[in-house]
A = this chain, B = another copy of it.
Amino acid sequence: MQNIEIKKPLANNHISVDCVLMGFDGEQLRVLLLRRTGEEDGQAFHDMKLPGSLIYQDEDLDDAARRVLLELTGLKSVKLVQFKAFGSRDRTKNPKDVHWLERAMQARVERIVTIAYWSLLKIDRTLVNNLDRYQAEWVALPEVKDLAFDHNQIISEALSYVRQYVEFNPAALFDLLPRKFTAAQLRKLYERVYGKEIDVRNFHKKILLMDYVVPLDEWEQGVAHRAARYYRFDRVQYNKGRK
């Protein structure tokens, strides 16, 4: 540091946290978004954003992420993984975002560095009953529109961190599925996470190799197509294989 010469104004930033919560509805990955209403040039606008907010001066990052998530969605005990800091000065290039935030925060805002977290969770959690109260919505990834700030980019990067994570920790994927699931559901989930189609036959072979995916003596009921077998995730077997 002795050798660094200060040539320009130092960044003095607000810090925020943003949470990318992803779930799976059996067909699509969905991300939890909040509705945002603002006014710009005398016109009301409505769009969406990730659950997130500025942090307090006396607050650590992980604590802030937990607090903000609770305040904005009512969700507790969510396992959040910090994955990246987004700090481009372009994050606040849209005056609409800055004005909206300054009004919400009652503070002047210039640059904001946000620390982003991801979590995978079942969509059937408490939140679903409270979606309206929290102005929240589980939006399928292909239907996500232009979001506030750089939140589209944050979601897209979160997905690539999730992909890396489940490569090591496939158990995380089973947190997204119901207790009993079909091979087709599991395959669809893999397809969504990896962003590519997976051959059905190859995938069945792959399942046979996963000794922690256990076939049940139960089949789908009342479906028009051939009833598919149910499987369950065997965590004990999974943990054995990890030692």
Interface, chain A (partner B; CB < 8 A):
1-15, 34, 36-37, 49, 52-61, 68, 71-72, 82, 84-85, 87-89, 100-101, 104-107, 110-111, 113, 115, 134-135, 164, 167-168
- B14 near A11 with CB under 8 A, answer yes
With A85-B85, A87-B61, A87-B115 as contacts: A56 and B10 at CB distance below 8 Å = yes
With A60-B87, A61-B88 as contacts: A135 and B13 at CB distance below 8 Å = no
- B134 near A36 with CB under 8 A, answer no
- B36 near A2 with CB under 8 A, answer yes
Residue of B nearest to A49 (CB): B1
15 CB contacts below 8 A, A to B, read A1-B49, A1-B52, A4-B72, A6-B105, A6-B107, A8-B59, A9-B58, A10-B14, A10-B54, A10-B57, A11-B14, A12-B12, A60-B89, A61-B88, A85-B115
- A104 near B2 with CB under 8 A, answer yes
- A11 near B55 with CB under 8 A, answer yes
Which residues of chain B are near A36, meaning CB under 8 Å? 1-2
Which residues of chain B are near A5, meaning CB under 8 Å? 71
Residue of B nearest to A59 (CB): B11
- A3 near B167 with CB under 8 A, answer no
- A2 near B71 with CB under 8 A, answer no
Bound-complex Cα distance A168 to B163 (A): 12
- B104 near A53 with CB under 8 A, answer no
Residue of B nearest to A115 (CB): B85
- A10 near B58 with CB under 8 A, answer no
Which residues of chain B are near A57, meaning CB under 8 Å? 8-12, 89, 110-111
- B104 near A4 with CB under 8 A, answer yes
Closest Cβ of chain B: how far from A118's Cβ, in Å? Answer: 14
Which residues of chain B are near A68, meaning CB under 8 Å? 4
- B12 near A13 with CB under 8 A, answer yes
Closest Cβ of chain B: how far from A158's Cβ, in Å? Answer: 14
Which residues of chain B are near A1, meaning CB under 8 Å? 34, 36, 49, 52-53, 72, 100-101, 104
Which residues of chain B are near A134, meaning CB under 8 Å? 3
Which residues of chain B are near A164, meaning CB under 8 Å? 168
